[in-house]
Amino acid sequence: MAPIIPSAHLADVRYEIRGALTRRARELEAAGHDIIKLNIGNPGRYGFEAPAHLREAIASHLHDSEAYGHEQGLETAREAIAAQQRARGARHVEAERIFIGNGVSELIDLALRALLQPGDEVLLPSPDYPLWSAATILNGGQPRYYRCLASHAHLPDPDEVEALITSRTRALVLINPNNPTGAVYPRALLQRLVDIAARHRLLLLADEIYDEILYDGATFQPLAELAGELPCLSFGGLSKVHRACGYRVGWMSLSGEPARSSIYRDALQLLAALRLCPNVTAQWAVLPALQDAPTIGALTAAGGRLHEARETVLRGVAASRHLDLVAPAGALYAFPQVCAEQIPRFDDESFALRLLEQESVLVVPGSSFNVPRSRHFRLTLLPPPAQLREVFVRIERVLASMAQEQADAAIAVA
């Protein structure tokens, strides 16, 4: 029988965070190996729990969750999100311009599906969170990448961003705080990017899912405040700040002058209706999550577990002969770079596979985040600090072995 051929749209789509390396890790686990998994920012797998009052809100509304809800989400939840956005300076945000989805991932797809014609371009950071690239491609668009280099603190160069714009460019995507690098964008930089979007009539798409996960005095600047009347979609949710990935509750808020985005808003509502509605049960957690006192600060402040994990990573890199790192100022990841002096010929995918098979540590190669010729890898800050200390011992063993092999090869050639 002839094989079933998948869609050609998938040819350029990658999501190695849960790709071939993860499948190999499962094979090794089945064979009895204990794998340290640093590939996914999934707090519940590392002992973090959602705040108890969110669970209680869901439990008390189970009877109210058995029917389909509004296609954009529960009214009370959308009102709470709109209030949060207005408090942050976003203009013209009302419940009717809020869309709740089954995680931000679903909403990214809806936002691009409502926007793009075949061949339209979307400006994306490199490194990016690869779902943005995938959703662009699957909806007929073309990613155009602006670099966020380690040599520039993983921040974009506005002049480079503007030079990429063509007549087909429709949107500018910003991920702040950034996944995978942990960069937090300064207000002045964001203002320059907003000005570029205004000059070229681009839709701003602000992935702000890590908005409150900040370290050592870093400050989060909401993009919608700076965008003012310019149309801007801001994305947030319960998964990271509130440690509730499995609830699958994300939202997007459409701000700016309503007349400029009314047709687009209606397209979003049509797409939302086609999938009936988001998960009703978990939406009851949105109101208490946004109205009650935040809980993430105790984890990111000095003495908190996330802060200590980040410090452990910084010490591990500082002690390494082979690694460099721009210290993450936010989010849940670090993006170390392997130095070229001792390991000039470096392949990030080969390194990650070797680390997995020899040392039972699973990381994500930097090239998975659409970085060409990457010398980076991403690891999450979620494991306990003691486990992260052991991880860096294992990483250093692999890198030292690779450096020695390349040195021996150079001598043999000489």
Q: Cβ(74)–Cβ(100) under 8 Å?
A: yes
Per-residue confidence at 408, pLDDT binned at 50, 70, 90? confident
Taking the C-alpha atoms of residue 381 and residue 342, their distance in angstroms, rounded to an integer, is 27
For the chain, helix, strand, coil in percent to 5 are 45, 15, 40
pLDDT tens for each residue of 143-187: 999 999 999 999 999 999 999 999 999 999 999 999 999 999 999
Alpha helices in 89-201 (DSSP H): 104-115, 130-138, 158-163, 187-200
pTM: 0.93
- Write down the pLDDT at residue 402: 92
Q: Could you confirm whether domain 52-291 is CATH 3.40.640.10?
A: yes
Residues 25 and 145: beta-carbon distance below 8 Å? no
Contact 226, 190 (CB under 8 A): yes
Compute and round to an integer the Cα radius of gyration of the chain: 22
The 3-class secondary structure across 162-188, one letter per residue, is HHCCCCCEEEEEEECCCCCCCCCCCHH
The CATH topology of domain 8-49+298-413 is: Aspartate Aminotransferase, domain 1 (3.90.1150)
Asked whether 125 and 172 are in contact (CB, 8 A), the reply is no
Task: Quickly state the pLDDT bin for 237 (edges 50, 70, 90).
Answer: very high
Q: CA quadruple 257, 226, 180, 99: dihedral positive or negative?
A: negative
Comparing C-alpha atoms, which of 278, 274, 252, 277 is closest to residue 265?
252
CA–CA gap between residue 169 and residue 179 (Å, rounded): 23
> Using CA atoms, how far apart are residues 116 and 133, in angstroms rounded to an integer?
13
What 3-state class would DSSP assign to 43? helix
Distance CA 225, CA 191 (A): 10
Confidence of residue 125 (pLDDT cuts 50, 70, 90): very high
Cα–Cα distance for residue pair 268/98, rounded to 1 Å: 10
Helix (H) or strand (E) holding 272: helix 258-274
CA distance between the termini of the chain? 55
| pLDDT one-digit tens code per residue, 323-338 | 999 999 999 999 999 9
Distance, in Å, from the CA atom of 107 to the CA atom of 165, rounded to the nearest integer, reads: 24
Query: Using one digit for the tens of pLDDT, what is the confidence trace for 351-374?
Result: 999 999 999 999 999 999 999 989
d(CA 237, CA 210): 9
What are the structure tokens assigned to 19, written together? Answer: 């790709």
Q: Residue type at 347?
A: D
Give pLDDT, residue 17: 67
Cα gap 319→348, rounded to integer Å: 21
Which is it for the CA torsion 216, 242, 333, 125, positive or negative?
Answer: negative
In this prediction, residues 339-343 reach a mean pLDDT of 89
Domain ranges within the chain, ordered by starting residue: 8-49+298-413, 52-291
